[in-house]
Amino acid sequence: MPALPSATTSCGAHPVTSETAGTARPASGTLPGRSPGGRSSGSGYPDPRRRALTLVFAPDADGDRLLWPREARAVANEELKRWGIPDGLRDRVELVVSELVTNASVHGEGRVTMCLTAGVTALRVTVADESPRVPIPRDARPNQESGRGLLLVAGYSGNWGVDPDGTVWARFNTAAQSAAAG
């Protein structure tokens, strides 16, 4: 897993650090920054133009790995709504979150960390796991049911890539979406 910055702030009540990465995630069934009853925890963003969400799924604490993509998709969708991301862009980001978390859950090892970061002109999705292997797109045959996830990521994002440590990222242009929505 890539080294975490000394104190990346999640949208929940706890900072994500290397010591808390396995525990700094929203409680099951809650949204970041909200209590289980749905009320705001009072945590805010230091800069309203830059927003971030970090989810960490741990094998021992978060059950079936195959359910992680659904939870990541649902939490990302709610957070993107809260950030005011337009429907069309939100749908594309949600699909990319699902594909990347699915790949990490199925092909990766250990914890899976998904981060969304939105600024004035861009939204970025990153997904990492603890596997030493770097994801490589494969050439799926027409009769194969899988193997096209990274092609979907390429088609739905502005650009994407894989860092040397295996972190997969996708970037979306939010300036064009904001102009079209406004």
State the CATH number of the domain containing residue 137: 3.30.565.10
Angle between helices 174-181 and 87-107 (to 10 degrees): 150
Tell me whether residue 2 is in a domain. no
Question: Is residue 38, in this structure, part of any structural domain at all?
Answer: no
The per-residue pLDDT for range 83-116, each reduced to its tens digit, is 999 999 999 999 999 999 999 999 999 999 999 9
Number of domains into which the chain is organized: 1
Question: Which has the minimum average pLDDT: 41-45, 47-51, 96-100, 148-152?
Answer: 41-45
Residue 91 C-beta-side C-alpha neighbours within 13 Å: 3
Residues 92/156, Cβ–Cβ less than 8 Å: yes
pLDDT at 40: 32
Write the CB contacts of 6 (distance below 8 Å, at least 6 apart in sequence).
Answer: 17
Domain membership of residue 102 (yes or no) is: yes
pLDDT of 176 reads 61
Tell me the residue range of the domain where 76 lies.
8-25+48-181
Residue 155 lies in a domain: yes
pLDDT reading at 59 higher than 80 = yes
Q: Which helix (H) or strand (E) holds 174?
A: helix 174-181
Q: Examine residue 33 and state whether it is found in any structural domain, yes or no.
A: no
In a domain, 32, yes or no: no
